[in-house]
Amino acid sequence: MEFSVSALHELESKVENLSDTISAKLRCGKLQDLTSDLFKHKSVTKELLTTIVLQMGTLICDSKMVLRSACEKIDEQKSDLIQTKNELIKCKSVKLEAVKETVQSEMKSFSDVVKSKSVSSGLSPAKIKMAVHSAMRDEDRAKNFIIFGAEEELECEEEEMSDKDLVKDIFGIVKGGDERSIIKCERVGVKKSTDAKRPIKVTVKDAETVRDVLSKAKILKSFQSPGYNFEFCNLFLSPDRSLEERISRQNLVKEMKDMIKKDPNKKYYIRNNRVCVAEKPTA
């Protein structure tokens, strides 16, 4: 008898019938009330006990067959389940690898973009591509910094100097970064008037150089500029921010100016995308 739902019901019915038969023959209400004294009754003959034992033997054999078949079925289902799980894992790995290869073809470093993040199968190729381009722009901006306030026509000792010469001098003054890491210097925007001072975007080899230079840029505020046709203290160095970041920064600056007007006796500064305040040191 193989394991099945109908086989279990059939086996249950046989057990129930045999239980009722034994209870009736031995004159006990239910099988749980069976005691050794009931076997001493005159009606309990050898033939009756033989019949009961034979029926129980048949039932035990049927039960063993069903139980053995059930164990085999369960083991088989467990094996199928494990195989299915392995196939799902393999299929998921193949899909993730395919997405990874697609992303790597669009950017320099996949790991920098999807760090501690999973790729959702619900993302469309267009959204993935948009995310990749956005990550690439963020990665590129991290290697840039902006110089504000530099004259369009730079001079030192009455000789013309290029924007790159200016950047090299800044590197030397703040002693931050290696000037050999400078890749490109270019003015941003269209020159609209002779008085305009377009920002200079500086691109270097790595983001660490940018962080190093910006962290020491305050040195320019106290640097004397003999021989130059501009003052280094009038230059302002900034990260290369996205449009959203620039708008957020402008709002923070406006908020800080409003706070200064209300209480000029405190020192205000922007840190971690919020306006911070500190008491000015007393004389």
pLDDT of residue 70: 75
Boundaries of every domain in the chain? 5-88, 144-240, 242-283
pLDDT of residue 278: 77
More confident residue, 243 or 135: 243
Say if residue 161's pLDDT is above 60.
Answer: yes
Region 156-181: what's the mean pLDDT?
89
Min mean pLDDT across 5-9, 32-36, 64-68, 116-120 is at 116-120
Whole-angstrom CA distances from 263 to 252, 256, 276 are 16, 10, 13
pLDDT band at 253 (very low <50, low <70, confident <90, very high): confident
Say if residue 196's pLDDT is above 70.
Answer: yes
Spatial separation of the C-alpha atoms in residues 116 and 131, rounded to whole Å: 15
Second CATH level (architecture) for the domain 144-240: 2-Layer Sandwich (3.30)
Min mean pLDDT across 121-135, 168-182, 237-251 is at 121-135
pLDDT band at 182 (very low <50, low <70, confident <90, very high): very high
Share of the chain above pLDDT 90, in %: 25
pLDDT of residue 77: 79
> What is the token pair recorded at 161?
């100097």
| pTM, rounded to two decimals | 0.48
More confident residue, 24 or 231: 231
Q: Are the C-beta atoms of residues 220 and 236 closer than 8 Å to each other?
A: no
pLDDT of residue 86: 79
More confident residue, 105 or 149: 149
pLDDT of residue 231: 92
Spatial separation of the C-alpha atoms in residues 128 and 150, rounded to whole Å: 39
Q: What is the pLDDT of residues 93-142, one digit of tens each?
A: 766 676 566 555 555 554 554 554 545 455 566 666 565 556 566 778 89
pLDDT of residue 261: 87
Strands (E), the chain: 144-148, 154-156, 159-161, 182-187, 200-204, 236-239, 266-271, 274-279
| Averaged pLDDT score across all residues of the chain | 79
Spatial separation of the C-alpha atoms in residues 52 and 15, rounded to whole Å: 12
